[in-house]
Amino acid sequence: MHSLRLFCDIVRFRSFSRAAALHGITQSAASQRVGQLEKHLGVRLIDRTVRPWALTSVGRVYLHEVGELVDRYDRLEQRICRIGSDPQGQITVAAIYSAGIGLLSFIKDSFVAEYPRVSVALSYKRPEDVYETVRRQQCDLGILSYPEHWRDVGAIPLRSEVMSVVCASGHPLANRTKVHAGELASWPMASFESQLPVGRHLQRYLKQQNIKGQIASVFDNIDTIKGCLSETGQIAILPKRTVLREVTAGTLAVVELEPELLRPIAIVYRKRRGASNRNGDGNGSKEGPTRPHGVDMTEVFSPAAQIFVEYLIENAGASVEVVKGASSRH
C-alpha cells in the first residue's frame, strides 16, 4: 500500500522529489520503489525518456485503478477508526427544506443508531437564514442549493439534482417523456420568488433558452407550487426528487427537460481563519475521506461533525439514487 500511495503522490505532484519528501524518503529511494513496482508488474508505468516525464498508457490505467483502491482503503481505515473511537457530542444542522426532510430524518436516525453517543439536531430555514446561521457559527454545518463563492463560508459539493418539468397528471404534457425548454412558453408556469437562488437560476435558464415564459404564479416553497399545479393546470420546473411521492400517487407527472438543468446541493461551513482548507486551488491538496474537494475537514469541523459530514456524503451524495422522503420547500 505504501508503494501504491507513493506512486499516486508522484503523479499528483508531478514530482519525485516532492512525493519523496512527503513520504520521508530520498528522491532516489522513491525512484527505486517505482522501478520495483514496474518490475513486479512487468510493464513501464512512467516514460522517463521524455522531459518532463509522462505516464504511459498503461500507467494511466494503473493510476485510475490504484487511486480508487487507495481511496477505498482510506475510507475503510477511517471507518474502523471511527467505530473504535466512540465519538460523542451534539451536531446542529441548518438546511433548506428542499434538501429533503424525509432524507435527512432517515440519515439522522441511522447515524444516531450507529453512533448513539452523538445527538443530531436538524432545523429548516430559508436559504439566506441557513447562510447566516452558518456564518454566525450558530450551527456546525448547513445544507444549501446553489452555493456561492463567499468570503467567510465554504462549500463541499454534495450532489446535483435533475430539474424536470412537473405538471398535473391530466395535463397535456403528462404523457410526454421529454419536452424541450422552447415549448414551455405555451403553458402558464408556477415558479419561485426571484429573491430565492432557485428562482434566479430558473430565470437565467429560461433567458438562455430565449424563452419568455408565462409566469402566472410565484411562491417561496416547493410544497405550495405542487399544490398549485394540481389545482390550476400550470406547469413548473422542480427538482425531480421532490415530487417522487406525488408521481407514485398519480397526482403529478414528471417530464424530462431538455437541455438538462441541474440544481447543485452543497454542505456549507464557517471558514476558520488561518485554516489551510482549499477548494481546487491547484496546490496539490490531497483528496480523500478527510479532504473532500480539497477541504481539510479536521480543520473546520468538530470530530463528531466530521464523521456526520462523511456519513452524509456517503448516504445523500452524488452516488445516492433512491432518496427517502419527498416533502420539501425552497
Mean pLDDT of 270-291: 53
- Same domain for 247 and 234, yes or no, is yes
| pLDDT value of residue 322 | 39
Model confidence at 329, in pLDDT bands (50, 70, 90)? very low
153 lies in the same domain as 79? no
Strands 188-192, 214-219: pairing is parallel
- 102, 135: one domain: yes
Q: Which of 27-41, 109-123, 212-226 has the lowest mean pLDDT?
A: 212-226
Q: Which three cell numbers stand for residue 322?
A: 433512491
Out of 66-80, 116-130, 248-262, 298-312, least confident range: 66-80
Where does residue 83 rank: exposed (0-12), middle (13-18), buried (19+ CB within 10 A)?
A: exposed
Lowest mean pLDDT: which of 15-19, 139-143, 207-211, 316-320?
A: 316-320
**Residue 277 clears pLDDT 50, i.e. is over it:** no
Q: What is the pLDDT of residue 323?
A: 40
CATH code of the domain in which 35 resides: 1.10.10.10
Mean pLDDT in the chain?
86
Identify whether residues 75 and 104 lie together within a single domain.
no
Shared domain for 21 and 113, answered yes or no, is: no
Report which of 238, 281, 243, 245 is spatially closest to residue 263, judged by C-alpha positions: 238
CB atoms within 10 A of CB 40: 9
- The domain spanning residue 133 has which CATH number? 3.40.190.290
Count of domains observed in the chain: 2
Same domain, yes or no: 284 and 225: yes
Single-letter code of the amino acid located at 259: P
Percent of the chain with pLDDT over 90: 60
Segment among 9-23, 219-233, 240-254, 283-297 with least mean pLDDT: 283-297
Last residue of a domain, one of 84, 101, 124: 84
Same domain, yes or no: 190 and 224: yes
Q: CA–CA separation, 108 vs 46, rounded Å? A: 46
- Length of the chain in terms of residues written: 330
Q: Are residues 73 and 183 in the same domain?
A: no
Q: Are 303 and 89 in contact (CB under 8 A)?
A: yes
The reply to whether the predicted model has a pTM over 0.75 is: no
One domain, residues 52 and 90: no
- Burial of residue 291 (number of CB atoms within 10 Å: 0-12, 13-18, 19+): middle
Q: Are 293 and 22 in contact (CB under 8 A)?
A: no
Query: How many distinct helices (H) and strands (E) make up the chain?
Result: 11, 12
Among 127, 159, 149, which Cα is nearest to 271's?
Answer: 149
Report whether 165 contacts 237 (CB < 8 A). Answer: yes
| Residue 219, pLDDT above cutoff 90 | yes
Please tell me whether residues 140 and 197 are part of one structural domain: yes
From 84, 110, 128, give the residue that closes a domain: 84
Listed residue (123, 98, 142, 106) closest to 327, CA to CA: 98
What pLDDT, on a 0 to 100 scale, did the predictor assign at position 220?
87
Q: Same domain, yes or no, for 270 and 308?
A: yes
Spell out where 32-169 has E strands.
Answer: 46-47, 54-55, 89-96, 118-125, 141-145, 153-168
What residue numbers bound the domain in which 279 lies?
A: 86-330
CA–chain centroid gap for 138, Å, is 22
Residue 91's Cβ-side half-sphere holds a number of Cα atoms within 13 Å equal to 27
Same domain, yes or no, for 154 and 165?
yes
> 117-126, 162-171, 281-290: lowest mean pLDDT where?
281-290
Task: Decide if 102 contacts 133 (C-beta within 8 A).
Answer: no
Where is the domain boundary, 58, 84, 110? 84
Residues 6+ apart with CB under 8 A from 314: none
